[in-house]
Structure 1
Amino acid sequence: MSIEPFSIEVPESVLTDLRRRLEMTRWPDEIEGSGWDYGMNLAYLRELVAYWLDSFDWRAQEQLLNSFPQFKAEVDGMGLHFIHAKGQGPDPLPLIISHGWPGSFFEMYKIIGPLTDPANHGGDPQDSFDVIVPSLPGYGFSDRPDMRGVDVKRVAELFMQLMTQELGYERFGAQGGDWGSAISLRLGEAYPDKLIGVHVNMLPVKLEPSEEEPSEDEQRWRKQLQQFQKDGGGYSHIQGTRPQTLAYGLNDSPAGLAGWIVEKFRAWSDCHNDIECVFSKDELLTNVMIYWVTQTINSSMRLYYENSHSDSVVGSRVEVPTGVAIFPREIMIPPQGLASQQYNIQRWATMGAGGHFAALEQPAALVHEIRAFFRQLRK
C-alpha cells in the first residue's frame, strides 16, 4: 500500500508573501450603489481582506484541519490527499464524500463527526460510517494533473481505486454535491457492483429531446437553467474554455482569488443576501487559503475544461439506489419525474433551508438525510 499519513504545514514564507500581496492590493473602481449586481462587492471584499490581514489565524485553522486523520496515497500515478475517519459503531458503512468547485475537503468538517460517531451527536450508533473525504485531483493537497483528460470519469476511476485497492473496501456508498455529485453518480453508473448506494445534494439531469409538451415542472426547471446561464453561468463558460488565461490573475492576487470564490458562496447559498448569516469569515478564508497555499486554482478550474471537451456526463440510467436531498437555494432543481427517468431514486427529500454548500450551511439536515437513505441499504 502507498498510503502515508499527511499533515498540513504551510511554510511561514508562504504566509509572509501572502501578507505582502494583500497589503499591496490594487483595488478596482465600482459604480456607487451597485451592490453585488456586477459581481463581488468592493466594500465587502475590502472588509474581508482587512480581516484576513488583522484577525484571521491560519495556524488555528491549520490545527483544525489537522485534527482530522489525513493521508496521501499514490493512486495510478496520482497523489490523492484524503481524510479517512473511522466509524465508531458496530458495523460502519464506508462512505466517500466528494466536494466540488469552489469548495474543498474543508466543506465537510461539520458532518464528519456526526457521521462517524452518531452516538455522540444525538444519533444511533447503528448509523455510523467510515468517512473518506478526498481532495479532487488538482484541488487542495492532491496532486495537480500534468496531463489532459482528468475529467469526471477519470476522477471516478481514481476514487474507485482508492476505495478498493488502497483502502480495501469491497463495497461502499458515495455522496456529493457539485462536481462531487457527478463523480458519485459516475461511480454508481460505472461500478454498480461496488456501490451500495449514491446520495447527492445536487442532481444533474440531461435535457432529452421530446415531441411531447414539457410539464409545468419541466418548463419551470428549463427557465431556471436559462436564467442561471444568463445571469450566473459566465464563470463556468470561462473555466470550460480559457481557464489558463484566468489563472494568471487569480494565482497572483489573493484578493482576486477571494473575490472569484467568495462571490459564489454568497450567490449560491441560502444566505438572504447576508453571506455571514451562513458562513463565518474564518470559514470563507480557510477555503480560499486551501486554494492559495497549494496554488491549485488553475488546476481546479481545468476540470471544467476537461469535462466540456469530453463526454464525461453520466450516460446511461443509474440503477444503483439513489437518494436526493433538494435544498431550496440549490443552483438547479430538476423535476422529480424527469430525474426518476435517469436515476433509480429511492429517497427524494425536500429540505426546508439551505443551498449549494449543504454540508456547511445545513450540516444537521444533510447528516439526517445521509443516515436515513443509507439506513435502508445496510445489510
Structure 2
Amino acid sequence: MTSDITPFILDIPQSDLDDLTSRLDRIRWPDPSPIEDGRQGPPLHKIKALVDYWRTSYDWRRCEADLNALGQSRTEIDGIGIHFLHIRSEHEDAMPLLMTHGWPGSVLEFRHVIDPLVNPTAHGGTAKDAFHLVIPSMPGFGFSGKPEVPGWNTSRNAGAWAALMARLGYDRWVAQGGDWGAMVTLTLGHMCPPGLKGIHLNFVPFQPTEAEVAQASDEEKAMLANAGRYDAEYSGYMKLMSTRPQSVAFGLSDSPVALAAWIYALFQDVSDSGGDPETVFSHDEIIDDIMLYWLPNAGPSSARLYWESMQAMRQGGMPQAKVPTPAGISMFAGEQIRLSRRWAESRFDKLTHFAEHASGGHFAALEAPDLLVSDIRDTIRTLRL
C-alpha cells in the first residue's frame, strides 16, 4: 500500500559534521608507498588532496539539498527500512524504471541520468522515451536500514525491489543496474516478477565456459585478459569483503580517511580514467558518494553484502538457464569484465539491444551518462507497447 510510504527529509545534525571535521583534522597519515603509481593502492598525494578539499571546500549541505530536492521516501519491506528516490515524469505514459546501484556506489551514482530519463524532450529524446524513476538504496547502504540477520543477498534484494514496485502501484515496469545492481537486476530477470517487462545491464557477471575460452576471438581473448588482470590486481577489496568483512569494518566505521581511500581505490581502478579518477570525477562527486557511506555508518554494513552473496553463490551458484526477460546490454571499454555479443546471446533469451562503447567504465552513469541514457531508451523502446 502506498500509505506505507513516508517522505524522507535529510537533515544531518551539525554535531555529526563537526565530528567529521574533528577527525579530518587529526589524521595520522601512512608513509608513502615505495611505488606511488597506484599499483599498491591509492597514492598518498591523491588522498591528501582529496581530504584537503574535503576539509576546506566541500559543502555537505549542498549535497543534502540536492537529495531533498529529488524527492526521498522510506518504506519497510521484509523487516527492513528502504530509502529510495522516486522521481515522476510529467510525460503521460512514462515507463517506471527501477535503477539499482552497486558498491561503492549510491543513489547519487545516477545523478547525471535522472533528468534526461525523466524529461527526455529537454535532452534529445521524445515524450515516448520518458521514465518514472525509482532509485533505492540497497539494505546496508546509504539511508536504508542495516540488516540485523543473515541472508540479505542479491536474491533477497530482488524480492524486496519487486515488492517495492508493487507497493508503488506499478503494474508495468523495467529495471536497470550495474555492479551489484546488475546482480539484483539479473536476478529479477530470472525471477520474472509480475509487471517486469525488461531489464538493462551495464555490467554482466558471468563465467566463460571452457568452449568459449577455447574458441575465443581476438576481441574475446582481450576481454578474458582484462578479467584476469582484474582478478589478479584489482580484486583484493572484493576477496576481503567476501570472506572477512568485519575485519575491515572497524576502519571503515572509525576513520573517514580509511573509508575514503577504500572507496577511492575503486574510482581509480575500474573507471575509464587511466588510474587518474580526477580526470573523470570531480572531488565533489567522489566525496558526495563517500558521505553516503560515512554519515549513516554504512561502510561496514555495505561490505557484508559481499559475504552474504558469496554464501549464496556457494550454496546455489548463478542460474544456468537463459534469462527469459527481454534484456539490453551496454559494454563500456573501461569495464574490466566484459562479454561479447556472441557470449551474451547464449545467456539471454531475448536480447533487445547490445552496444559496445569505446569510452566509459564501471561507473557508466557518472562516466558516460549520455551513452547510457541512449542505450536504456533503445532497450526499452520496443517494450513499451
Q: TM-score, normalised by structure 1?
A: 0.96
The alpha carbon displacement at 1:42 in A equals 0.2
**Secondary structure of residue in 2 paired with 1:89:** coil
The alpha carbon displacement at 1:117 in A equals 1.1
- Matches of 2:116 and 2:90, distance apart in 1: 10
Indicate yes or no: 2:351 matched with 1:345.
yes
2:68 alignment partner in structure 1: 66
2:201 alignment partner in structure 1: 200
Q: Is the 8 A contact 2:200 2:328 kept in 1?
A: yes
Indicate yes or no: 2:9 matched with 1:7.
yes
User: How many pairs are equivalent?
Assistant: 378
Across the aligned residues of Structure 1 and Structure 2, the Cα RMSD in angstroms comes to 1.5
Q: Is the 8 A contact 1:151 1:303 kept in 2?
A: yes
CA displacement 1:152-187 (0-9 Å, x = unmatched) = 1000000000001x1011121000100111111111
Indicate yes or no: 2:373 matched with 1:367.
yes
1:109 alignment partner in structure 2: 111
Map 1:20-99; keep pairs closer than 5 Å: 20-32=22-34, 34-99=36-101
2:331 alignment partner in structure 1: 326
Moved more, 26-35 or 119-128: 26-35
- Matches of 2:253 and 2:310, distance apart in 1: 22
1:288 alignment partner in structure 2: 290
The alpha carbon displacement at 1:211 in A equals 9.5
Q: Is the 8 A contact 2:24 2:55 kept in 1?
A: yes
The alpha carbon displacement at 1:362 in A equals 1.0
- Matches of 1:34 and 1:277, distance apart in 2: 18
Map 1:80-229; keep pairs closer than 5 Å: 80-164=82-166, 166-191=167-192, 193-210=194-211, 213-216=214-217, 217-229=219-231
Q: 1:143 to 1:48 in 2, by over 3 A?
A: same
**Secondary structure of residue in 1 paired with 2:214:** coil
The alpha carbon displacement at 1:209 in A equals 4.6
- Matches of 1:193 and 1:339, distance apart in 2: 24
Equivalent AA in structure 2 for residue 29 of structure 1:
D
- Matches of 2:179 and 2:44, distance apart in 1: 27
**Secondary structure of residue in 2 paired with 1:282:** helix
- Matches of 1:41 and 1:360, distance apart in 2: 23
CA displacement 1:123-148 (0-9 Å, x = unmatched) = 21111101000001110000000010
- Matches of 1:210 and 1:364, distance apart in 2: 36
- Matches of 1:191 and 1:212, distance apart in 2: 30
- Matches of 2:125 and 2:329, distance apart in 1: 21
1:304 alignment partner in structure 2: 306
- Matches of 2:75 and 2:137, distance apart in 1: 11
**Secondary structure of residue in 1 paired with 2:292:** helix
Q: 1:219 to 1:272 in 2, by over 3 A?
A: closer
Equivalent AA in structure 1 for residue 188 of structure 2:
L
Indicate yes or no: 2:383 matched with 1:377.
yes
Moved more, 16-25 or 263-272: 263-272
Moved more, 269-278 or 87-96: 269-278
CA displacement 1:288-331 (0-9 Å, x = unmatched) = 00100000111111110011111363442101111011111012
**Secondary structure of residue in 2 paired with 1:83:** strand
- Matches of 2:48 and 2:376, distance apart in 1: 38
**Secondary structure of residue in 2 paired with 1:67:** helix
- Matches of 1:265 and 1:242, distance apart in 2: 22
Moved more, 349-358 or 138-147: 349-358
- Matches of 1:356 and 1:314, distance apart in 2: 23
Q: TM-score, normalised by structure 2?
A: 0.95
Q: Is the 8 A contact 2:353 2:375 kept in 1?
A: no
Give ranges in structure 2 of 5+ residues lacking alignment.
none
CA displacement 1:310-365 (0-9 Å, x = unmatched) = 13634421011110111110120112212211113221111131100011111111
Q: 1:43 to 1:158 in 2, by over 3 A?
A: same
The alpha carbon displacement at 1:210 in A equals 4.3
Q: 1:211 to 1:59 in 2, by over 3 A?
A: closer
Q: Is the 8 A contact 2:171 2:194 kept in 1?
A: no
Give ranges in structure 1 of 5+ residues lacking alignment.
none
Match of 1:261 among 236, 254, 263: 263
Moved more, 154-163 or 63-72: 63-72
CA displacement 1:82-141 (0-9 Å, x = unmatched) = 001001212110100000000101101111111111122232111110100000111000
Q: Is the 8 A contact 2:98 2:133 kept in 1?
A: yes
Q: Is the 8 A contact 1:192 1:320 kept in 2?
A: no
Map 1:234-273; keep pairs closer than 5 Å: 234-273=236-275
- Matches of 1:193 and 1:220, distance apart in 2: 39
**Secondary structure of residue in 2 paired with 1:348:** strand
Q: 1:313 to 1:301 in 2, by over 3 A?
A: farther
The alpha carbon displacement at 1:219 in A equals 3.8
**Secondary structure of residue in 1 paired with 2:84:** strand
Equivalent AA in structure 2 for residue 196 of structure 1:
K
The alpha carbon displacement at 1:193 in A equals 4.8
